[in-house]
Amino acid sequence: MRLVRIIERMLGAIPVVLGVLIIVFFFMRLLPGDPVEIMLGDTSASKREMDSLRAELHLDKPVYEQLWLFVSGVARGDLGTSLDKRKPVATLLAETLPPTIELTLAIFLVAILIALPVGVFTALKPGSWFDRTTMTGALLGISMPNFWFGLILILFFSVHLGWFPTSGQIAATLDLEKITGFLTVDALLTGNWAAFKDVLRHLFLPATTLGVAFAAIMARVIRSSMLETMRMEYVVAARAKGVSEPMVVVRHALRNAMIPVVTVAGLEVGMLLGGNMIVETIFSWPGLGRLVVSSIFSRDYVVVQCAVMLYALTYVAANLIVDIIYTFLNPKIEL
């Protein structure tokens, strides 16, 4: 039964995906100005160059045909060619995606390591000094612009203490054979411990920058959700049954408390994706976010358009996964 529901939910995402494609498609065409003129911008391009670019982007065709070419192109994995880098956009995305995924997973890890214990312990002793300090800290973390926090981390850990590198993914002197594109995995596969350590050192500051901000949001959600479940009758019943307190917290309360937490995590994936762009720019991380920002400045709008689409689809996929996790956390929930 569960499988049927999951498949139904996945099919339900198809119209959303199509909607995202249509919004991305019309986005470039509805904004004021001729996209070709904006893209060629200051380069004083000739009429012939403009016409050839227009033909390359299919802008000389009727709109419905353009839409069809775009959607069918996406389905085939043909996303067009980057004007600036003269490479297929699909290749560019495939190159930049592994570093971004690697960074995002590291951010998640940092966030969970901080938020889970903080959220649970503050909920067990609401009003205590630990609760008040950490929750004030969490509000500070939410109010703090993450680009500024990244610079503060650089200032302290790199400039002052000299512990961590400030940019890139791996030291240029180290040689690492690329297999998966995920440098931590590649280093482990090839048994290259020096590279593995170096990659982790590079990962630390960018992951902490966004991980702390994400932890601040999640700790608050975990706390309030735990407070709610700890009052539930089944928790009281478990205690009455003589279940030990750690077991009550972990097995009975936490599992149920995670349901709203997972929802918020899904919604906040958007914050993570946007934040990636900033963190990758600060730490010169060779991922998707930095590609988007540099493409904006080189007016490479084909890349911007596809990256925006990829971000939106990631968001849709993340929330699909959240819905599926739901069914495992609480089998009673219908999708």
Partner 1 sequence: MGNIAHAVALQANLTTRSIFSVGQELRKNIAAAIAAVVVGLYILMAVFAPALAPYPPNETALAERLQPPGAEHWLGTDGLGRDIFSRCLYGARVSILVGFLAVTLCVVFGVSLGLMAGFYRGRLDSIFSRFSELLMAFPYLISAIAMMAFLGPGFFNLVWALALRGWVEFFRLSRGDTLAQQTREYVDAARSLGLSGWQIMLNEILPNIVPSIIVLATLRVGFMIVLEASLSFLGVGIPPSIPAWGSMISEGRGVLFIAWWVSTLPGIILMVLVLAINLLGEGLREVLDPRLKVQT
The answer to the question of residue 71 lying near partner 1 (CB under 8 A) is no
- Tell me the per-residue interface mask from 200 to 239 with partner 1, x by CB under 8 A, - otherwise: -----------------x--x---x---------------
Q: Residue by residue, what is the 3-state secondary structure of 295-313?
A: HHHCCCHHHHHHHHHHHHH
Q: In whole angstroms, how close is the CB of 184 to partner 1 at the nearest point?
A: 25
The answer to the question of residue 98 lying near partner 1 (CB under 8 A) is no
- Give the three-class secondary structure for 286: coil
Angle at which helix 129-143 crosses helix 89-124, to 10 degrees, equals 160
The answer to the question of residue 143 lying near partner 1 (CB under 8 A) is yes
Nearest by Cα to 264 from 111, 136, 121, 125 = 111
The answer to the question of residue 296 lying near partner 1 (CB under 8 A) is yes
How big is the chain, counted in residues? 335
Distance CA 187, CA 71 (A): 38
Q: In whole angstroms, how close is the CB of 193 to partner 1 at the nearest point?
A: 30
The torsion angle over the Cα atoms of residues 285, 286, 292 and 297, rounded to 10 degrees, is: 90
- Interacting positions 273-292 with partner 1 (CB under 8 A): 273-275, 277-278, 281-282, 292
The answer to the question of residue 16 lying near partner 1 (CB under 8 A) is yes
- Give the three-class secondary structure for 227: helix
Which of 40, 45, 97, 144 is the binder for partner 1 (CB under 8 A)? 144
- Interacting positions 29-68 with partner 1 (CB under 8 A): 31-33, 35, 38
The answer to the question of residue 167 lying near partner 1 (CB under 8 A) is no
Q: In whole angstroms, how close is the CB of 274 to partner 1 at the nearest point?
A: 3
Q: Token pair of 235, please?
A: 């928790």
The torsion angle over the Cα atoms of residues 164, 165, 170 and 174, rounded to 10 degrees, is: -90
Which of 301, 306, 323, 326 is the binder for partner 1 (CB under 8 A)? 301
3-state SS of the chain: helix, strand, coil percent to 5?
75, 0, 20
The answer to the question of residue 74 lying near partner 1 (CB under 8 A) is no
Chain contacts with partner 1 (rule: CB under 8 A): 16, 19-20, 23, 27-28, 31-33, 35, 38, 139-140, 142-148, 151-152, 154-155, 159, 217, 220, 224, 264, 267, 269-271, 273-275, 277-278, 281-282, 292-293, 296-297, 301, 304-305, 308, 311-313, 315-316
